[in-house]
Amino acid sequence: MAVLSFIGNILVLVTAIRRATKLKPPELLSVNLAVTDLGAAVTMYPLAIASAFNHGWLGGDATCLYYGLMGFFFGVASMMTLTVMSVVRFIISLSLQSPKEKISKGRIQLLIMGTWVCALLWAVFPLLGWGKYGPEPFGTSCTLAWSEMKENGFSFVITMFLINLLIPATIIVGCYSGLALKLHAAYKSINNSNQIPNILKMHRKLLIIAVLISMGFIGCWTPYAAVSLWSVFRSSESIPPEVSVLPCLFAKSSTVYNPLVYYLFSKTFKREVRQLKWTCGRSKASNEPDSNHTVENANHAPCDGQRQNIPTVNQSPRMQTEAEIKVYTMECL
């Protein structure tokens, strides 16, 4: 799982760098989500794997504090990013027929900065005495010490669940439900399915990707949240360690889920990954002398992701508008 998470999110970031000049402002949120997933994988998985092989936590209280803080920090950052993503996507959907963005790149960057500041504040609160980090019942992982916050940290638990889980989940469901209704109404108003604008098809595909990513994250973390709340209101000893480890592993699998969704549903990501693989293969082949290498390069067709500047003659305004929408759709997908 650690290897898949690392490779998958690295591919997301590499393809984003390769398309840096073509990235739309909302796509920066997907990049930020990949950063949170990769950060969790790099800072947490090595220590967790080593502790699992050791059949006990390594490093004592210091590493336990570090592990719990990193997990909480990147978890909140991911949830806030998904929430902002849903709101931004809904705002853009207010005019489904327009290919122009309604939120600037600068505003998206401010929103991304806000997600990190929020995550940092919540991760630091237990260090300041509001909440507490501690080991998991099964002994090979650390997180918030749920069972030790029944009295002193109860307000932290309730506030944290409201602000970082329930309210964001409600916003996400509300925004995507509203977007789905708008898309349904737009499709219903079109009698001929062959006349559906490309921009509507783009919004539909982006909606599917966003919903799968958001619901996947919430679905992965809900069992863990339920077990954690049970530990607060009841006793963690009532849950066998071998049972409590399953929600924890399921929650950590959320870092693997997002790149898989991108690959299955995003033509751009799939195309960039294949092109990256082809580029690596070409670089390897270029080190070997080949008499046909020049001929193959001359006959090689351009990549799907590259647009050629084909001059157009006597285009009507309507044809030009449709061409702009088509180009916008291809770049976003």
For the segment 186-199, the average pLDDT, to the nearest whole number, is: 70
Give the angle subtended at the CA of 38 by the CAs of 68 and 90, to the nearest 5°: 100
The reply to whether 329 falls in a domain is no
For the segment 5-29, the average pLDDT, to the nearest whole number, is: 87
Across 199-208, 217-226, 302-311, the highest mean pLDDT is recorded for 217-226
Share of the chain above pLDDT 90, in %: 28
The reply to whether 282 falls in a domain is no
The reply to whether 46 falls in a domain is yes
For the segment 183-206, the average pLDDT, to the nearest whole number, is: 74
C-alpha torsion sign, points 142, 148, 154, 155: negative
Q: How far apart are CA 50 and CA 58, in angstroms?
A: 8
What rounded mean pLDDT belongs to the chain?
Answer: 79
pLDDT tens-digit map of 244-271: 788 888 888 888 888 888 877 777 777 7
Q: Identify the band that residue 92 occupies on the pLDDT scale cut at 50, 70 and 90.
A: confident
- For the chain, the residue count is 333
**42, burial (CB in 10 Å: exposed 0-12, middle 13-18, buried 19+):** middle
State which amino acid sits at residue 127: L
For the segment 31-44, the average pLDDT, to the nearest whole number, is: 93
Q: How does DSSP assign 231-273, residue by residue?
A: HHHS-GGGS-HHHHHHHHHHHHTHHHHHHHHHHHH-HHHHHHH
The three state secondary structure string of 59-76 is: CHHHHHHHHHHHHHHHHH
Residue located via tokens 């509300």:
174
The reply to whether 210 falls in a domain is yes
**Which range has the worst mean pLDDT, 11-15, 39-43, 244-248, 266-270?**
266-270
The reply to whether 298 falls in a domain is no
Q: What is the pLDDT of residue 251?
A: 85
Beta partners for residue 143, in sequence order: 134
The reply to whether 102 falls in a domain is yes
Number of domains in the chain: 1
Which pTM value belongs to this model? 0.78
User: Domain with 263 in it: what CATH number?
Assistant: 1.20.1070.10
Q: How far apart are CA 223 and CA 219, in angstroms?
A: 7
The reply to whether 311 falls in a domain is no
What letter would DSSP give residue 128?
G
**pLDDT over 50 at 157, yes or no:** yes
The reply to whether 235 falls in a domain is yes
Q: How crowded is residue 286: how many other Cβ atoms within 10 Å of its Cβ?
A: 11
Structural domain range at position 49: 2-277
198-233 and 154-161 are packed helices; what angle lies between their axes, rounded to 10 degrees? 160
Q: How far apart are CA 177 and CA 89, in angstroms?
A: 11
Q: What is the pLDDT of residue 38?
A: 93
Q: How far apart are CA 8 and CA 11, in angstroms?
A: 5
